[in-house]
Amino acid sequence: MNNKVKALIAIVVVAIAGVVVVQQQSGGDVTLTLATVNNGQMKDMESLKSEFEADNPGIKVNFQVMEEGDLRSAVTSDVANKAGQYDIVTIGAYEVPQWGANGWLTDLTSDLADDAYDVGDILPPVKDALSVDGMQYAVPFYGESSILMYNKEILDAKGVKLSNNPTWNEVAAAAKKVNSANTAGICLRGKPGWGDLFAPLTTVVQTFGGTWYDMNWDAKVNAPEFVQAVTFYKDLLASAGQKDPVSYSFNECLTALKTGKVAMWYDASVAASMLEADDSPVKGKMGYAHAPVAKTKEAGWLWSWNLAVPANTQNKEAAVKFIKWATSKEYHNLVGTKLGWSLVPPGARTSTYSIPEYKEAAAAYAPITLEVMSAVNPKQPGVNPQPWVGIQYVAIPEFQDVGNQVAQLVADAIAGRITVKEALDKGQVIAQAAGDAQK
């Protein structure tokens, strides 16, 4: 046989042999695989994992960092099919109650009951959002609400003052007053997506008295309150918002505010720590206020990135040990002493806001973050009761698709391609189909 043919056959044999090799874990040691999202707090956790490994010989933690959309796809297919590739998963507050109810996650209630962990220290609204029927399925690594951020220098120059609990009418008037050719009055997300445009917009809808669904899962997307809120949002963007709003989400608005292209921004509270970072041009120039309201007392959203243990993991004991360490008071102290106090994960534990060093490092935004996160109500964020727990999303599997489709329609309305009424009439049909599936 020709040598070339033999070489090719050898390659195939090696490839096929590789396929059937089943990787065996070396006896005794446990390697935990953690699927997580790429952001500063998670990177800090990865940099500190050696401390956990040193205290727990025999346990190694392997971080798999993914883009947010990839994380959702990979973790959902893995956990739903009980494939067991991941021992610990990072999931949002949107997924936890659904996956917990499906039996996909380990019930952590008894594991968290020890005094040292102090589960009662977790911010109550966050804990509520991670529990189903009294059983807790995940622990928050960090959390956030939404607040109004504004450049005091720009507002002061125009003689504009904002209260600590502003109304949307007050904010709209201020935005119009400071709006100029070089500086937009306010930056609001317009990029289509349930997690982009509809995160802030849903809170506006709720404080205007609207909701996605009533208690019977009948959609209310083209109800007068929903239409009024979306019209207000669109008009505010048109009269005092950034140019080309449908291409703006969190990062674009962050850059615009940092570079003085906009005067105000309503978005995630975690942005405040970036605006106050040492390399930020607006450090020390910013003011912060509660999410603007209309008919409700609070209108901030609630989000947390959480650590959960899939129900079928082979390493449950070690996985639970790690997530308790990563969300403990001791971990917060470790981050503060090793990496800097301003980097302590916010919005998870009440006690974090009592640490003197943290209060000093995060003086500009820590008090308002705690105030808003303690005040929001994920069980009834709007005027009327709702059949799910959650603020800026509807905790049903169909919502990602519904939210994305309706967001695209609303973005079309913001861009002037269709009217708000047309967009929401179409959105009503889409939302109702998902609502019917819940009945």
Partner 1 sequence: MKSTKATLITGATWIIAVTYFFPVAWMFINSFKTENDAASLTPKFIFTPTLEGFSRLADRGMVDYLTNSLMASVISTALVLLLAIPAAYALSVRPIVKVQDALFFFISTRFMPAAASILPLFIIFKNLRVLDNIFALSLVYAAMNLPIAIWMMRSFLSEVPHEVIEASRIDGANFETELWSVVLPIVLPGIAAVALICFIFSWNEYFFSVLLTSANAKTTPPFLASFVDGRGQFLAVLSAASTVAALPVILAGWFAQKQLVRGLAMGAVK
**Residues at the site binding partner 1, with contacts judged by CB under 8 A:** 2, 4, 8, 11-12, 15-23, 31, 33, 35, 37-40, 62, 64-68, 70, 73-74, 77-78, 81, 83, 85-86, 195, 249-251, 254-256, 259, 261, 268, 270-271, 274, 279
Q: Which is nearer to partner 1, 24 or 110 (CB)?
A: 24
Q: How far apart are CB 19 and partner 1 at their closest, in Å?
A: 5
Q: Which is nearer to partner 1, 72 or 234 (CB)?
A: 72
CA distance 130 to 92: 9
Q: What is the dihedral of CA 51, 131, 65, 400, to 10 degrees?
A: -170
Residue partners of 24: CB distance under 8 A and separation at least 6 = none
How many Cβ atoms are within 10 Å of 5's Cβ, its own excluded?
9
H or E, element range at 34: strand 30-37
Q: Which is nearer to partner 1, 108 or 275 (CB)?
A: 275
Exposure letters 366-387 (e unless 16+ CB within 10 A, then b)? bebbbbbbeebbbeebbeeebe
Q: Which of 42, 63, 59, 39 is nearest to 51 (CA)?
A: 59
Tokens of 71: 């994380």
Using the 8-state DSSP alphabet, how is residue 134 labeled? T
Q: Which is nearer to partner 1, 37 or 236 (CB)?
A: 37
Q: How far apart are CB 141 and partner 1 at their closest, in Å?
A: 13
- The count of residues in the chain is 439
Q: How far apart are CB 110 and partner 1 at their closest, in Å?
A: 28
Q: How far apart are CB 38 and partner 1 at their closest, in Å?
A: 5
Q: Which is nearer to partner 1, 211 or 249 (CB)?
A: 249
**Helices 224-240 and 420-436 sit at what angle, rounded to 10 degrees?**
140
Tokens of 401: 């698709």
Q: Which is nearer to partner 1, 68 or 121 (CB)?
A: 68
Q: Is the Cβ–Cβ distance between 166 and 290 less than 8 Å?
A: yes
Q: How far apart are CB 220 and partner 1 at their closest, in Å?
A: 28
Q: How far apart are CB 2 and partner 1 at their closest, in Å?
A: 6
